[in-house]
Copies of this chain bind each other. A is one copy, B any other.
Amino acid sequence: MSADGGTADRQVPLVTTAAYESCPVTGVLRTVGDKWSPAVIRVLAEQPCGFNELDRAIEGISRRMLTRTLRNLEERGLVSRAPQGGGSTPSRVEYALTALGRSLREQLRALGTWAAAGGQDVPG
């Protein structure tokens, strides 16, 4: 066997930190891999929604986490935020999935189909 890399030897990382951080898969998993994003996406896929409507639609979520989740999804371009009634305190804010958000929803559905078919057992 030669001294330098043959078949199974590996001297250098296959997954470097830089490459991993800029990986699209890593990115989307970071975005949607938190506790509540999938729930929010699911509800908004049904129909656009106000803040408190969302709060009631998702059992167990706190207003704090709902805010954070919405802001995160908005930042990523998956959710749009539209305040209504131009005053200083909007009487209603409508959240909706963007086109990108709807396409992500389809990806997640595909993943769900795979998981359900593949016998992926559920946590708990």
Chain A positions within 8 Å of B, measured between CB atoms, are 8, 10-11, 13-17, 20-34, 38-39, 42-43, 46-47, 53, 56-60, 76-77, 100, 103-104, 107-112, 114-116, 118-124
27 A-B residue pairs with Cβ-Cβ distance under 8 Å, sorted by A, are: A10-B53, A10-B57, A13-B56, A13-B57, A14-B57, A15-B43, A15-B59, A17-B59, A20-B38, A21-B122, A21-B123, A23-B112, A24-B112, A24-B115, A24-B116, A24-B122, A25-B108, A26-B123, A27-B123, A28-B114, A28-B115, A29-B38, A31-B120, A76-B121, A100-B118, A100-B119, A104-B118
Bound complex: CA of A43 vs CA of B8, how far in Å? 12
Residue of B nearest to A39 (CB): B15
B25 touching A124, Cβ below 8 Å: no
Most buried by B among A15, A114, A118, A121: A15
- B residues less than 8 Å from A15 (CB atoms): 39, 42-43, 57-59
Complex Cα distance, B17 from A17, in Å, reads: 36
A121 to B100, alpha carbons, bound, how many Å? 12
